[in-house]
Amino acid sequence: MAASVSTVGAGNRGLLNLKGAGSGPSWPTSAFFDNSLKTVLGSKITNQRLLTRNLKLAAEYDKEKQPSKDKWKGLAFDTSDDQQDITRGKGMVDSLFQAPMGTGTHYAVMSSYDYTSKGLRQYKLDNNMDGFYIASSFMDKLVVHITKNFLQLPNIKVPLILGIWGGKGQGKSFQCELVFAKMGINPVVMSAGELESGNAGEPAKLIRQRYREAADIIKKRGKMCCLFINDLDAGAGRFGGTTQYTVNNQMVNATLMNIADNPTSVQLPGMYNKEENPRVPIIVTGNDFSTLYAPLIRDGRMEKFYWAPTREDRIGVCTGIFGSDNVPREDIVKLVNTFHGQSIDFFGALRARAYDDEVRKWISGVGVENVGKRLVNSKEGPPILEQPKMTLEKLLEYGNMLVLEQENVKRVRLSDKYLKEAALGDANEDAMKNGSFYG
């Protein structure tokens, strides 16, 4: 006991000597300090505060005594795709700390794909219908929306209406028809022209009738069906001060809102029974849904999808347009790249323009005076024209002609001139400058 006290006392004296201003510190010999520890001090310490702050303890490190290979190194630099595979840790520690083979957390019972988030999975759907291309994102949105409306999802309110909107001539309606054909659906179709009438309330009544017709197809025939309304904004929207907001506009918006809130209880005027009808998904297209009544397009009633075809979508659609003309894919890619700012229907008009030369040949063969007799009520039947050979040079030529016609419409703006003066505007300005205009 005395020895231990003296030892501690020596350690305390050593610590006291460190605080003093002596020639050098007196190292303690206590059993609390190991011989492998060294005191690291700055040279020529003259201040007590500096002495206490710069006091550090460091352990000896010998590189030769360290193992040359780390058995866990492979886990730190894992380059495999399967991060859930922890069977590589089997056997790296003592067997006392491991479960028997085939059990425990190191037993891989699931693949890494099962751990992937359901929202990150990619589902490949067949997006071709009779040789025509369907955009993957378009098909996914439409198929999922229709399917969700026929499923019984617990505690989930699925929007009844899917609004597909985007620029003009991007093939929204045609893509919808391809998806309907792919799913085997014969939709009940309405157009914007049916949303206005001289009789107040007729369009709203018509919407309910068409909805009930689709419900009867589902209930009585046992087939999927939907209500498809083309260009909803053109019939029920407001475009500033250029259109009049009528009673029918109000009733169309209100009827669609009511159907979206109560899809299984849609009744016709004069028929107020308690019989429920099947739920019928509604698909509408348009160019600008901001012109519609705001409560109609809220998220609970309408799910919006902005359709802007990508470059790959445009190439795929054009491949279907020129599929029967044996146009090589590389030519289609060049055509899309050349007219990258044009809508999809531009390429359909381009293909139709390529038949102009064949039509001219047929007209010159039968004579202009015999065209009517040959085409209408003819015993010989309709003429069959040869399919023209479509080369890249010819398609580019016709495409540039269409672009020039578009530019003329935007440049001349004859309607503005007609309101100001009785003149042709700038339509013949170029001819006048060249001296080729007479009259």
DSSP assignment letter at 297? G
170: pLDDT confidence band, cut at 50, 70 and 90?
confident
Q: Which residues contact 73 (CB under 8 A, 6 or more apart)?
A: none
With 0-12 / 13-18 / 19 or more C-beta atoms within 10 angstroms meaning exposed / middle / buried, residue 25 is middle
CA nearest to 284, candidates 237, 234, 230, 353: 230
pLDDT given for residue 6 in this prediction: 44
Domain count for the chain, please give it: 2
What whole-number distance in Å separates Cα of residue 211 and Cα of residue 203?
12
- 45 pLDDT tier (thresholds 50, 70, 90): very low
**pLDDT for 39:** 46
Q: Which residue has the higher pLDDT, 382 or 284?
A: 284
- 16 pLDDT more than 70: no
What one-character DSSP code corresponds to residue 285? Answer: E
pTM of the complete model beyond 0.85: no
Q: Which residue has the higher pLDDT, 313 or 382?
A: 313
Average pLDDT over residues 382-396: 86
Q: Which of 27-41, 276-290, 382-396 has the highest mean pLDDT?
A: 276-290
pLDDT confidence of residue 169: 86
Range of the domain at 263: 113-308
Last residue of a domain, which of 308, 324, 339? 308
| Domain final residue, candidates 284, 308, 332 | 308
Within 46-194, residue ranges assigned H as helices are: 48-53, 73-76, 136-150, 172-183
Task: Record the tokens describing residue 310, joined without a space.
Answer: 């990508």
Task: Answer yes or no: is 40 within a domain.
Answer: no
In angstroms, rounded to a whole number, what is the distance separating the alpha carbons of residues 436 and 428? 10
- Mode of pairing for the β-strands spanning 161-166 and 56-59: unpaired
Residues for the chain: how many in total?
439
Beta bridge partners of 377: none
Give the 3-state secondary structure of residue 397.
helix
Q: Which residues pair with 192 in a beta bridge?
A: none
58 domain residue, yes or no = no
Residue of 235, 261, 260, 239 whose CA lies nearest to 249: 235
pLDDT above 50 for 239: yes
Q: How much is the average pLDDT of 130-155?
A: 89
- Alpha helix ranges (H) inside 217-271: 232-236, 247-261
For residue 340, the domain's CATH number is 1.10.8.1070
Lowest mean pLDDT among 96-100, 109-113, 291-295, 348-352: 109-113
Closest by CA position to 189, among listed 197, 198, 180: 180
- 19 compared with 170, residue with greater pLDDT: 170
Is residue 238 domain-shared with residue 337, that is, in the same domain?
no
Res 132 pLDDT > 60? yes
Give the pLDDT band (50/70/90) at residue 99. low
Average pLDDT over residues 5-24: 45
Is the pLDDT reported for residue 107 higher than 70? no
Average pLDDT over every residue of 306-316? 89
pLDDT of residue 156: 86
Together in a domain, 251 and 343: no
What band does 415 get if pLDDT is binned at 50, 70 and 90? low
357 and 236 in a common domain: no
pLDDT reported for residue 199: 85
In this structure, the answer to whether residues 283 and 331 fall within a common structural domain is: no
Question: Could you tell me if 227 and 322 lie in one domain?
Answer: no
Q: Determine, yes or no, domain membership for 421.
A: yes
In angstroms, the CA 244 to CA 252 distance is 14
Range 331-338 average pLDDT: 91
> Is position 97 within any domain?
no
Q: Are residues 283 and 227 in the same domain?
A: yes
Domain identity same for 226 and 343: no
Domain with residue 251: its CATH number is 3.40.50.300
Model pLDDT, residue 374: 86
User: Which one of 308, 342, 371 terminates a domain?
Assistant: 308
Specify the DSSP class assigned to residue 219. I
Question: What is the average pLDDT score of the chain?
Answer: 75
pLDDT in tens, 251-273: 999 999 999 999 988 887 777 77
* pLDDT (0 to 100) of residue 67: 59
419 and 294 within one domain: no
Task: Using the predicted structure, report yes or no on whether residue 51 has a pLDDT greater than 60.
Answer: no
Question: Cα 345–170–255 angle (5° rounding)?
Answer: 125
Residue type, 40: V
Least confident of 38-47, 379-388, 417-426: 38-47
284 - beta bridge partners?
A: 163, 229
Report whether pLDDT(3) > 50: no
Residues 161, 250 within the same domain: yes
Query: At how many degrees (to 10) do helices 344-353 and 311-321 cross?
Result: 30
With cut-offs at 50, 70 and 90, classify the pLDDT of residue 146. Answer: very high
Q: What is the pLDDT of residue 420?
A: 57
Query: How far is C-alpha 402 from the chain's CA centre?
Result: 30
| Residues 410, 289 share a domain | no
Q: Is 148 within a domain? A: yes
Q: Are residues 182 and 295 in the same domain?
A: yes
Average pLDDT over residues 136-147: 92
Give domain status of residue 56, yes or no.
Answer: no
52 Cα distance to chain centroid: 65
Look at residue 196 in the predicted model and tell me its pLDDT.
86
**Over pLDDT 90: what percentage of the chain?**
19
Does any domain span residue 38? no
Question: Is the model's pLDDT at 49 over the cut of 60?
Answer: no
Cα–Cα distance for residue pair 145/97, rounded to 1 Å: 52
Residue 4 lies in a domain: no
Residue range 65-81, pLDDT digits in tens:
555 565 555 555 544 44
State residue 164's pLDDT score. 92
The arithmetic mean of pLDDT across residues 383-389, rounded, is: 84
218 pLDDT band, cuts 50/70/90, is very high
Instruction: Tell me what the mean pLDDT of segment 21-25 comes to.
Output: 47
Residues 279 and 323 in one domain: no
